[in-house]
Amino acid sequence: MHNSSVATANIEAHDNPALLHHFATAEQQKDAANLGMWLFLVTEVMFFGGMFCAYLVYRYKYFGDFGSASQQLSIKLGAINTGVLICSSLTVVLAVRAAQLGKRTVLVFWLLATIVLGLVFLGIKADEYAEKFEKHHVPGPSFHYHELLPGQAGLPSTDRRYANPSHAEMYFSLYFAMTGMHALHMIIGVGLFSFLTYFAWRGKYSPDYYTPIENAGLYWHFVDIVWIYLFPLLYLIDRHR
C-alpha cells in the first residue's frame, strides 16, 4: 500500500518569495486565489440578490407608488454616477494591464485614478442622500411624502391621485438599503485599492505576481455591475409620464 512518491522539487519557491508553502507552483496559487475571489463574488450576488428580490416583490405590488417615488431622484446625478463607475472600471482594467507589463508608476497612477473616481461617486451619492434628508424622504419618524402618481400632473386638480405615502416609504427603504449597501461596498473597495496603491508604490507587484490587483479588480467590477442594475431599476421607473 505504499505509493511511489514524487518528491516535489519546488524550485519555484526559491525564485518566487510570494509562493506560499502549501502550494506546489505559483500557478496553482494564482488559480486558487482567482477561484476564491470568484466564489466570494457569488456570495455577493446572493447577498445583493436578496435585496433585489425584496425590490422586485414590492415594485410588482406597488408599481404606481414606486414610479412616483422614483421620480424624486435625479436622473442627471444617477447617470453621471453610472458614467463615473464605468470610467473607474476602465481605470481598473488599465491598472491590471500595467501590472501585467511591470510598469510600476503607470500601475500606481491607474490605481489612484480608480480611487479618485470611487470617491467622486461616493461624493455624489452623499449629495443625493442629503437632498433626500432635506425633503423628508428618509424612512423613519420624520418621513413625509405628498406627491402625485406618475402621469397625474396633466389632470384637473380634483381628479389627481396621490401616491400612497407608506408605499413610497417602502421604495425609499429599499433605495437606502440597496444604495447604502452598494456604497458600503464602494467604501471597502476604495480602502482595498488604497492598500494596493501603497504596496504597488513599494514595488510589491510584478508580471509574476499581480494576483491581488487582479482579484481586487474583479471585486471592483462586480460593484460596478451591481450599480449597472440599480440605476435603471431605481431611477428610471415610468419616466415617460
Residue 104 CB, shortest distance to another protein, in Å, is 16
**1: contact with another protein by CB under 8 A:** yes
**For residue 209, what are the β-bridge partners?**
206
Q: Of the ranges 13-21, 115-123, 127-135, 196-204, which one interacts with another protein (CB under 8 A)?
A: 13-21
Q: Does 6 bind another protein (CB under 8 A)?
A: yes
Binding to another protein by residue 9, rule CB under 8 A? no
Looking at the Cβ atoms of 200 and 219, the one nearer to another protein is 219
Signed CA dihedral, 160, 164, 169, 174: sign only: negative
Q: Which is nearer to another protein, 36 or 191 (CB)?
A: 36
Among positions 77-106, residues that touch another protein (CB under 8 A) are 79, 82-83, 86-87, 89-90, 92-94, 96-97, 100-101
Please report, as residue ranges, which positions from 124 to 143 form the binding site for another protein (by CB under 8 A). 139-141
Judged by CB under 8 A, the number of residues near another protein is 93
| Main-chain phi, psi angles of 209, to 5 degrees | -145, 95
Classify residue 163 by its DSSP letter.
P
Q: In whole angstroms, what is the distance from residue 83 CA to residue 86 CA?
A: 5
Q: Which DSSP letter does residue 236 get?
A: -
Minimum separation from the CB atom of position 208 to another protein (A): 6
Residues 14-53 that bind another protein (CB under 8 A): 15-16, 21-28, 30-32, 34-36, 38-53
Please say which residue, 34 or 194, places its beta carbon nearer to another protein: 34
- 180-218 CB burial, b ≥16 within 10 A, e <16: ebbbebbeebbebbeebbeebeeeebeeebbbbbbbbbe
- Lookup: cell for 189: 473597495
At 166, is the secondary structure helix, strand, or coil?
A: helix
Q: Is 234 in contact with 82 (CB distance < 8 Å)?
A: no
What is the 8-class DSSP label of residue 22?
T
What x/- string results for residues 150 through 189 when contact with another protein is judged by CB under 8 A? Answer: --------------x-xx-xx--xx--x------------
